Amino acid sequence: MTKSRTVVHFLYEPGNGGLDRVAILLANGMARRGIPTELWLTKAVGPVAHLISADVKVRMVPTPKFGGRGMQLVMQLPVVARMIRKYKPRAIFSAGNQTNLSPAIARKLAGQTPTKIIQKITNPVLRPGSSHWAKVCRTWRFGVTARLGDMSLALSVADAEHYAEIFPRAADKFHAVPNPYVHADMLSAGAGRITRDPGIAPRLLSVGRIAPQKGYTILIAALARIADRPWSMTILGDGLLLEEARRWAGDSGLAERIEFRGFVDDVTPYLIRSDILVLSSRWEGFPAVPIEAMATGCAVVATDCSAGLTQLLRQIGQHTVAVDDPEALAKAIGHEIDSPQRIEPLRACATAYSIENSVDQHLRLLEDVCKRP
């Protein structure tokens, strides 16, 4: 029997998360190269479903309609195993942390099969503030997951090296790969931008769901410390703490200077109109928005929430600030207001994360793993 050349991207749903968008962009990019490409979904409807190319075949994974995501991923294991046996894909790319284990176990249940399982770690395995036992459990689970798969992709060299140290029994499986964050419109916008005159009041931007992880209390506290400076801020995102964040802004006397716009499907127009992106997160995997900002020529001020982002910014002479430190964040924003970053190094750094280059790198790793017995 001829071995299938089909590449599958395993995604729970086309939701509003960055990993959902990335999985779809990768599938689209591979399909454009003439590779038979499929998306295996549990849910077909979501905010980024419209991005799925007509060239990508969508297969629904039959799943009971009760329970949360974790329970449904467990209950569908026999079904995924049958799909692997039936369609015999060349490889299955898992979109991110929550779905990594499912296709790996299903491949085991499927028996003898040439299908390769390529996982991706999109959020930190160990998170700040987690209890000792939570860290033990997550380390064990991610270690087992990595050993069951054929390759584990991390979003930066720093992350790949870190995970190889944490999981020595699977150290050879970790590889760094750039995600497809940057599209042509972003680079085109950046090409036409000039470095901001420090005498002009900057337009600040923050993007992300309003949740404790994103550090909006720290951001607003930092902005309050530079309230005597000219600036305006737009915040894109929704979440359980949205109304509370509005109150924080009002209590800090910043209600007229901070605009909350809620969730938006496309942040590119906002990045193009903004001068400084501020990332105040407590932790991140490898966040997309700072890379997208750099592509458009928008400067970045960020906390040390992601080893990969910190490593990347250092390459262009920029430094992150300590997490949960509003004074340090305020100083960094103030410094950027007075001394704007040069645009060309930002854009040059972002080009590695173009959709085309990312597809190239994913396909290179696919070929590597398919050569292994």
Domain with 221, as residue range(s), is 184-352
* 33 occurs within a structural domain: yes
* 261 shares its domain with 313: yes
Q: Supply the pLDDT for residue 4.
A: 67
Q: Is the residue at 300 inside a domain?
A: yes
Check: CB of residue 359 under 8 Å from CB of residue 177: no
112 found inside a domain = yes
Same domain (yes/no): 172, 297: no
The H-or-E segment that residue 259 falls in is strand 258-262
Specify whether 226 is located in the same domain as 165. no
Domain count, the chain: 2
> In a 3-state reduction of DSSP, which class is residue 309?
helix
In this structure, are 328 and 255 located in the same domain? yes
Evaluate whether 51 touches 24 at the Cβ level (below 8 Å).
yes
What is the per-residue pLDDT for 214?
Answer: 96
Regarding whether 312 and 195 lie in a shared domain, the answer is: yes
Give whole-number Cα distances, 302 to 28, 58, 351, in Å: 31, 37, 19
Q: What 3-state class would DSSP assign to 174?
A: strand
215, 242 contact by CB (below 8 A): no
Both 169 and 190 in a single domain?
Answer: no
- Asked whether residue 216 falls in the same domain as residue 250, the answer is yes
Q: Which pLDDT value is given to residue 2?
A: 43
3-class DSSP assignment, residue 207? strand
Read off the amino acid at residue 228.
D
Cα separation, 116 vs 104, in Å, equals 9
Residue 1, domain member (yes or no):
no
Q: What is the rounded CA–CA span in Å between residue 308 and residue 122?
A: 12
Question: Which of 367, 356, 370 has the alpha carbon at shortest distance from 25?
Answer: 356
pLDDT at residue 3 in the model: 55
SS3 271: helix
Question: Is 316 part of a structural domain of the chain?
Answer: yes
Interatomic CA distance for residues 368 and 360, integer angstroms: 12
- pLDDT of the chain along its 373 residues, tens only? 345 689 999 999 999 888 999 999 999 999 999 999 999 999 999 989 999 999 999 999 999 888 899 999 999 999 999 999 999 999 999 999 999 999 999 999 999 999 999 999 998 888 877 888 999 999 999 999 999 999 999 999 999 999 999 999 999 999 999 999 998 899 999 998 998 999 899 999 999 999 999 999 999 999 999 999 999 999 999 999 999 999 999 999 999 999 999 988 889 999 999 999 999 999 998 999 999 999 999 999 999 999 999 999 999 999 999 999 999 999 999 999 999 999 999 999 999 999 999 999 999 999 999 998 7
In a domain, 2, yes or no: no
Query: Do 57 and 156 sit in the same domain of this protein?
Result: yes
> Residue 161 belongs to a domain with what CATH number?
3.40.50.2000
- 257 and 119 in a single domain? The answer is no
Of 304, 273, 317, 309, nearest to 289 by C-alpha is 309
Residue 22 lies in a domain: yes
Residues 239 and 160 in one domain: no
Give the DSSP H/E element, type plus range, for residue 327. helix 326-338
> Contact, 177 vs 353, CB < 8 A?
no
Regarding whether 164 and 189 lie in a shared domain, the answer is no
Q: Residue 290 class from Cβ within 10 Å (0-12 exposed, 13-18 middle, 19+ buried)?
A: buried
**Strand partners of residue 200:** none
Q: Is residue 200 part of a domain?
A: yes
Strand ranges, E, within 61-158? 91-94, 116-120, 151-154
Do 205 and 152 share a structural domain?
no
